[in-house]
Amino acid sequence: MLALGRAWETALSGDNTFGCWGGKLMISFLFVKVTHSPEGMETLRYFLFDVCGVNAGWKMEDVMDEEIEVINNTVAPDDHVICALSGGVDSTVAATLVHKAIGDRLHCVFVDNGLLRYKERERVMETFDRDLHLPVTCVDASEQFLSKLKGVVDPEMKRKIIGKEFICIFDAFAHELEQKLGKKPAFLVQGTLYPDVIESCPPPGSGRTHSHTIKSHHNVGGLPKDMKLKLIEPLKLLFKDEVRQLGRILKVPEPFLKRHPFPGPGLAVRVLGDVTEGNALDIVRLVDEIFIQSIKDAGIYDSIWQAFAVFLPVKSVGVQGDQRTHSYVVTLRAVTSQDGMTADW
């Protein structure tokens, strides 16, 4: 910015930031919405409340009521709905919200794709049954997923394959329900969040031609075009911290809400290279469990946004038990964040 025009004033400036305003028009050369921007939230609050006069009456209870109304207006009284449960915060809150709206017409399915965390299947099914009282069917599709991933090393391709296989499972589950209920479910519930939409490929007609694909989420950019089920995504305009607020209102147990984010494609994107080669999955699964348990034992789990292990397909020399070893490398990473859009080590 070389100079301001008439009737314009500097609102904020710094080495890498600049903002100006004139009347009720404000121009900012920084991402005021992210936590790394100096005075970003203060600038946004000033523009919304002082310049635009926006009413700060937004409440999460209103979001819940609005989404329940949308769900009831979308799903006919005799329609049945499938929910894809991963065991994570997002899909669990989405399922609880939809269950509150339509009750027993919701049918949840948890898929063991062979890419889960250590003992995840047992832990999740126990929590759903004991604490959430959600109707859940568990499908073991480990061999199906791993056979499709054999030889695949590109993470984007992994995501697309996993997204397609999930839909195949859900279609088969819908067919089974049709035999039982006499009517095939028409909708699929997903715990898609706003960051998932931002990071995935912009939808056709969105006008976001300038946006780059950061990564295709299996529930957004990884969905096949010929999918027969219509989507219900009640959380798609919310961020992770807002989903946790909604979960508390819906009485989802606090320990469940505090779980760290886990990628939809699972350990497939925590293993660099072919996930079916050697014992890569077993190694990263066990290391991840030890890492997470160590963080919990240290009392710092809740202060960390996400912690995880990544398997590298390279070997390095080390010492174990006073002996030389030559084995695979696993890296550990832990970050803090508020909304999942920016992070610090």
First-to-last C-alpha distance (Å) of the chain: 32
Distance CA 303, CA 299 (A): 9
- Retrieve residue 143's tokens: 């061999």
Helix 240-249 to helix 89-102 angle, to the nearest 10 degrees?
Answer: 40
57 is known to lie in a ligand binding site: no
Sign (positive or negative) of CA dihedral 194, 275, 165, 106: negative
88 assigned ligand-binding residue: yes
98 annotated as belonging to a binding site for a ligand: no
Total count of residues recorded for the chain: 345
Is 91 labelled as part of a ligand binding site?
Answer: yes
What distance in Å separates the CA atoms of residue 69 and residue 67, rounded to the nearest whole number? 5
- Look at residues 260, 220, 252, 218 and name the one whose alpha carbon lies nearest to residue 92: 252
User: Has 152 been labeled as part of a binding site?
Assistant: no
Would you say 89 is a known binding-site residue?
yes
| Residues of the binding site for ATP | 86-92
| Residues of the binding site | 86-92
